[in-house]
Structure 1
Amino acid sequence: MRERLLAAEQVVGFVWRDGALHVLDQGRLPAEQIWHACHSLSAVSGLLARGAVQGASATTLCSAYALLLGARQRADEGGDWQAGLQTDAHLLVNAGLPPRDADWLLQQMHQRLARARPDAEPLAILEDEAHGIHQRDREANLAMAQLGVELIRSFQGNSQNLLSIGCAGAMACGGFGTALAVIRGAHLEGLLERCYLGESRPLLQGAKQAAWELVEEGIAVGVSTDAALAHVMKVRGVTWAIVGAERIAANGDVLGVIGTYQLSVAAMHHGVRLMVVAPSALIDLQAESGEACFHELGHAPLGYSQSERVAGVDEIEPQFDVTPADLVDFLVTEKGIIERPDVAKLAQLLSRKHLH
């Protein structure tokens, strides 16, 4: 299936070409497909700040290339580019890169430079490392797609209806996606009749990015309001709800796009299995539980104009929510599958060096 996914790939959110990072502006979809050629760190950080890049993995990967662009610019100007990496990482954090991801990127860059031969060109090493981080993300996506499809087939081998929320797709990653990669794979394997998507309010990632991605690849899609997803489960014979994640706590709690929690509650009631698809790097063993540690619920204003709002009403605007581990049927990572994730199972998963 890996080869079939590679051959069918139609959608990417960014590409490194001719010494520049070319980024598809997700905020303009689906009406316009606008690509921006970024030749500097400031150009990339500007796109991050205004939401042209969405998704945790995509933000990190674009930031890796941005660090390279910043180092090149400092070197061309005769500056200390190695000392500037920390400054540039701080600029990317201000634009939306999570601090823990910025620290990880810097660690990867410094470790790669430390391993390089004395005669190696340092900026070429940084470029190679950015490519490597990007390629490893793509390979992880392919592995998760394979495992997720095998899981779907093992429970019901015929064509079925799947459901998702948010946009855990190719544009949110280095390619293929997490949850949407499984849905793409199910389509290629003849296991998908239709994919139902919630609009994913208030940012509408489902109705805009996810729906556009899947339609571009010839997949049958139905979009509903988030409030109608329980009804869709009941009347459309949905077998799986497949979602991505922003972070996963040590006990298996999942920080996801807003609406994931209520989706998981409805799924349990209707006998729909919930599959969370996420790279193992998102598992944070330092976070004891999501309820105790995931306070970064973001801020996404409700989609009403000022004239449509009722004065004197408090607006509740979280961008993310926490789904308790006991609502998760399966967690799919590039290292393997966990049924009913808990502390011991997640710790064991992270100890694996290779896919099982």
Structure 2
Amino acid sequence: MSSILPIDSPFEAPENGFQAIRFDGRVFHLLDQRELPARERWLQLDDLDSVIAAIRDLAVRGAPAIGITAAYGAVIRAREVGLERGPWLEGMARLEAARPTAVNLSWAVARMRRAAGEAERVDLARLEAEARAIHAEDIAANQAMARAGGSEIGACRGILTHCNTGSLATGGVGTALGVIIQAAKDGRVERVFADETRPWLQGSRLTAWELARAGVEARVLVEGAAAALMAAGEVQWVVVGADRIAANGDVANKIGTYALAVLARHHGVKMMVVAPSSTLDPAMENGQGIEIEQRAADEIWAAAGLTEAPAGFAAWNPVFDVTPGELIDCIVTEQGVHRPPYDFSGAR
């Protein structure tokens, strides 16, 4: 495994989590999540196309991390086109289209457009300052969410989480995983369970790796075992992240989250969603309007070790589903704990 890059950064502190996103002022360094946990491979991105590819091909994933990556991508694009506004704006349109569901991507690009100014040449200093501000704000938000969400969880036997929501998915300690790690450090939870999260296995590859790194006892289970786990009384909370939250509290998150919410309600298990306010979309009335990204069926066959689809087979591969707000006990942002009926009209 390669070691962490020796880049001097104000973000480096134990309470900020480890940094999977680094910018040295010219080259953007990104920990390739596709390679974990087998090895730590760092990508060095110095043009917009490589940043877009990293987002599209899941080298980086997690809504906050995608937003931070987009912000640094805007800085790289400005250098690439000699600060010319027209080509820079064209690049921002392509960057924003890299993945449609995570609202943090469009949110970050909108902030970078405002920072660029109105002149024919974009303001590089303002762009870089804005990108670093987005990164620093996410770190601070992570810390606030960990405290708020962690205090919401009383002493319990177990917590179940889905996908990956830690330092790999954010700029700091994480959203849902930050809350879980905080609860574990406070002695509020005995054990953490992580769904595999098929077909990319973010739970078994990334969440398990992060929890082991944090010294938190964890067990991985296949999605189909969640109902039996709840029925056995092994968990009292399901804690997950979000890629977009509508005004009424409907939540778009990794496929399988909706199923967990239904199971949790049936078994009397509480459901918590943790996400920064940048994930809120007050203009989206409810979850029915959220565009759900569909990915290639090849991902399903590859997860089964197949190089191509079996003859006569097709597949349906949505990346996200929408959980109705009525199935969620609380939504935690850096602004605090929100409870139903949800009203985010004044957020962001």
Q: TM-score range by the shorter chain?
A: 0.7 to 0.9
Mapped partners of 1:274, 1:100: distance in 2: 22
Note the 1:74-89 alignment, pairs <5 A. 74-75=81-82, 80-89=83-92
Alignment correspondent of 2:183: 186
Q: Deviations over 1:127-167 (max 9, x none)?
A: 11110011111111111111101111xxx3x3531110011
Alpha carbons 2:195, 2:203 under 8 Å: kept: yes
Distance 1:263 1:100, change over 3 A: closer
Counterpart of 2:295, as a letter, is H
Alpha carbons 1:328, 1:341 under 8 Å: kept: no
Mapped partners of 2:113, 2:48: distance in 1: 18
> What is the TM-score normalised by the length of structure 1?
0.85
Alpha carbons 2:68, 2:131 under 8 Å: kept: yes
Tell me, what secondary structure is at the counterpart of 2:81?
helix
1:307: Cα distance to partner?
A: 7.7
1:305: Cα distance to partner?
A: 4.3
Alignment correspondent of 2:130: 129
Match of 2:27 among 20, 23, 37: 20
Larger helix proportion of the pair: 1
Distance 1:333 1:341, change over 3 A: farther
Mapped partners of 1:142, 1:99: distance in 2: 21
1:319: Cα distance to partner?
A: 1.3
Structure 2 segments unaligned to the other structure (5+ residues):
1-11
Mapped partners of 2:345, 2:181: distance in 1: 29
Mapped partners of 1:340, 1:94: distance in 2: 32
Matched, 1:60 2:67: yes
Alpha carbons 1:330, 1:338 under 8 Å: kept: yes
Mapped partners of 1:109, 1:69: distance in 2: 12
1:235: Cα distance to partner?
A: 2.1
Note the 1:1-356 alignment, pairs <5 A. 7-75=14-82, 80-96=83-99, 103-114=106-117, 122-152=123-153, 156=154, 158=155, 160-290=157-287, 292-299=288-295, 301=297, 302=300, 303-306=303-306, 311-342=311-342, 345-347=343-345, 350=347
Alpha carbons 2:117, 2:123 under 8 Å: kept: no
Mapped partners of 2:156, 2:15: distance in 1: 19
Q: Deviations over 1:13-38 (max 9, x none)?
A: 21112532110000011111101122
Tell me, what secondary structure is at the counterpart of 2:345?
helix
- Number of corresponding residues: 331
Distance 1:20 1:309, change over 3 A: closer
Tell me, what secondary structure is at the counterpart of 2:93?
helix
1:297: Cα distance to partner?
A: 4.0
Tell me, what secondary structure is at the counterpart of 1:288?
coil
Tell me, what secondary structure is at the counterpart of 1:170?
coil
Task: Work out the percentage of aligned pairs sharing the same amino acid.
Answer: 36
Counterpart of 2:67, as a letter, is T
Alignment correspondent of 1:354: none
Q: Deviations over 1:215-264 (max 9, x none)?
A: 11111110000010111122252111000111111221111101101101
Alpha carbons 2:101, 2:243 under 8 Å: kept: no
Alpha-carbon RMSD: 2.6
Mapped partners of 1:284, 1:328: distance in 2: 17
Counterpart of 1:295, as a letter, is E
Mapped partners of 1:35, 1:59: distance in 2: 16
Alpha carbons 1:61, 1:174 under 8 Å: kept: yes
Tell me, what secondary structure is at the counterpart of 2:201?
coil
Distance 1:9 1:193, change over 3 A: farther
> What is the TM-score normalised by the length of structure 2?
0.87
